[in-house]
Amino acid sequence: MGSHPITDAKQAALDIVQSGTRIPYFPQTVEDDMIFQFHNIIPGLIFNKGSAKINFSDPRVVEGIDDFRGRLALKKINVEPAGLSLEEKYLKGFYALEEVLQETEVDIWGIKGELTGPLTEAYSIEILPWKKKAILDEEIFKIIVDTTAETAYWLSNQLLKLTRKFVDKRGETILLFDEPLLPLCFKDSTDLETMINALNSVLSRIKCRKGIHICDNPVTVIDKILELEIDYFSFDARRYPATLEKIKSETLQRYLEDGKGFAFGLTPNSPEELFGEENIYEIQRGKKDPTDFIPESSEIKNRMEKIISSVESKVNIKSLLEQSLITPQCGFRNFNIPNPTIGEQLVKNLLELQEKAAEEIREKYKIN
């Protein structure tokens, strides 16, 4: 969700901050893997050739998991201090953002971060030797959920400290779960209530404002998601602009009346979305200039206005806008055309465009 196409975390953080975005996020580099980055503390979890596994054929793994399960239980009853910290090498983007904010002294309104959600994590890990997904193993699923909860507790506190340091106590601090596989998990689940309870048990541990991001079509799960303990629902509003109008009127009204909002993914996040697939070959060969495809800020603004016009009879539009964000569709990890360096410059341009569009909307609708 916060991924960039380069390996230099500080450069990515600098591009985010220099773009003028009012709520900068800590970046993930192209080297970070979302399945391992936030859960590597689980004993025996290995990541190799694009897949994550825990091998219970190894007695040391079994012993490590048993000890870890006991540690999580002690945290739950407050015998051990709450939270599980991430090693700095797995959170380079966070510390890079802190360094850049210290050096630049920019005026910001808050800070945003991301964490892989428990459902996507559990669906992605394979348990050996049985070759089954962790989400299908009750005990391992619980360990993953509890690990996510403790990591989220620690990370939300770190984000809060950063906001207090560079803004003040009134600054906006947001931690979003990245749950690209959530619709699939809901669809395949024989016990949807367990999935919902797992998400809420993790969300309840977050000490700042919180939300969930999904990449796929949200229509089939949107009403369930809005019943979760979230402050923001983040979705791809370019591909699925009709999402809000599909929500039950009473659900949407209640959600907004509670002061909650949306993160509208309106900023192009991939070469295919920005250039069009038909132009990529010529851009790679240098026959077309990729910067020629960067749209005007009015393109994002117009998309937003079209979306909100579809629900203006249901809700107070100004409240909807005041409580919401404009974001990229998803992460920028694949913006490596014509190469990662130029791709990163395009990312910065797009973030600048995003902030300009947000300013235009704030001005038009008189939002402070």
Full pLDDT tens readout for the chain, 368 residues: 799 999 999 999 999 999 999 999 999 999 999 999 999 999 999 998 889 999 999 999 999 999 999 999 999 898 999 999 999 999 999 999 999 999 999 999 999 999 999 999 999 999 999 999 999 999 999 999 999 999 999 999 999 999 999 999 889 999 999 999 999 999 887 789 999 999 999 999 999 999 999 999 999 899 999 999 999 999 999 999 999 999 999 999 999 999 999 999 999 999 999 999 999 999 999 999 999 999 999 999 999 999 999 999 999 999 999 999 999 999 999 999 999 999 999 999 999 999 999 999 999 999 98
What predicted TM-score, i.e. pTM, was given to this entire model?
0.95
Q: Report how far Cα 268 is from the mean position of its chain's Cα atoms.
A: 15
Name the DSSP letter for residue 136.
G
Pairing of the two strands 125-128 and 132-133: antiparallel
The residue written with tokens 């959170």 in the block is 91
Please give the C-alpha separations between residue 150 and each of 43, 202, 230, in angstroms, as whole numbers.
15, 8, 17
